[in-house]
Amino acid sequence: MRKPANLIIEADGGSRGNPGLAGSGACVIDADTGEVVLEISKFIGIATNNVAEYIALVSGLEGAYGLNPEARVLVRMDSKLVIEQMAGRWKIKHPDMQQLGARVQKLVAGRQVRWQWIPREENSRADALANKAMDEQGDAVVSFAETAPRSPVAEFNQERPSSVRAPGSISKPLTTVILVRHGRTHLTESKRISGSGGENPGLSELGRADAHKAAKAVAQIGNSGAWSHLPPVSAIVSSPIQRTLDTAHILANELGLGVNVNQDIAEISFGDWDGHTNSEVMSKWPDEFANWRGSWTVSPPNGESLEVFDARVKNALTTILEENQGRTVVVVSHVMPIRGLIRAAFDAGISAYWRPQIAPCSVSILRFWGDEAAEVIAVNATSHL
């Protein structure tokens, strides 16, 4: 049976009376597949919420290490008390919890464990198991560990390009680039052209909601889900335009990181066309629009040509890779810079500037070994939305 190398524990405890009838629940998840491999519910008897939460954590850890004693573990709980105490930031004062805390510390000693607080609504599986224990006043352990693993990363190379056809003489370190387009604005929602140099709106209410969803998806990278095999994010770079800054700061709050600004990943300038719909532009500037479509050198009136724009996107990529060697960096930008970075990864032609669809708050993932090699992991992923 396969031993999962990366596990997530979601744990919760409850007490009906505090102290009162108590139960605990723990859910163990294979972080590489996102699949639940173990569910544990335990009836405790009379106890407090905090004691029940600690017992849930112990059960989850014992279950996880029963699957693989050497697994890397992420513990997710909505009990800030337990998370902060186990992370060593808060002292354990209550004698009952001191004993349970010592038991947890003994279980995790010498092992790779991370602690993450999550909102209560994100811990519903463990909460349901704790309530099941209280309702039935009994214990239950359900194992799904025999479930066959999914295989989308079976041919993935952590250090080098995954294809055997890729260049073999790689000397530069790997930088993983997570591209996130900004969320919607009132211009996006009214299908109006929105470049750099025109109106500079912030995110709309819907745009902010999407940005929070994108932030949670990006926070899973390196931790759980489809991209758990990638290194976790350690830096954020944003365009200077307000809609990208708004999006970047939502991601930064989720990830606990700062935001660096790169002027060269601002959106292309559409000049006099900014703020108009495509239909309005075709009606008002019919000849200019016809000449501009598909052109490398023609720019909108007082705007930017693809030739000029591409040069600054390449400059941005060089800077981002030099400043983030060996890291995973989120780049929060716009449709055209994201297309330009994808074009660079594919070493593609001019049509790469209009063929990929890049939706608001979509996620695309590239890997670069400096200017020596590149790999495309995902383009325009939107399942989190």
Q: Is the peptide bond between 360 and the residue preceding it cis, with omega within 30 degrees of 0?
A: no
Which residues are catalytically annotated? Answer: 182, 267
Give me the phi and psi of 55, to 5 degrees please.
-65, -40
Orientation angle between helical segments 242-255 and 205-220, nearest 10 degrees: 40
Contact 253, 245 (CB under 8 A): no
10 Å CB burial of residue 233 (0-12, 13-18, 19+) is buried
What are the residues whose beta carbons fall under 8 Å from the beta carbon of 352, sequence distance 6 or more?
339, 340, 342, 343, 346
User: Rounded distance, CA 123 to CA 344, Å?
Assistant: 40
Contact 179, 341 (CB under 8 A): yes
User: Rounded distance, CA 280 to CA 287, Å?
Assistant: 13
Name the token pair of 104. 């947890």
93-117 CB burial, b ≥16 within 10 A, e <16? eeeebeebbeebeebbeeeebebeb
User: Rounded distance, CA 98 to CA 81, Å?
Assistant: 13
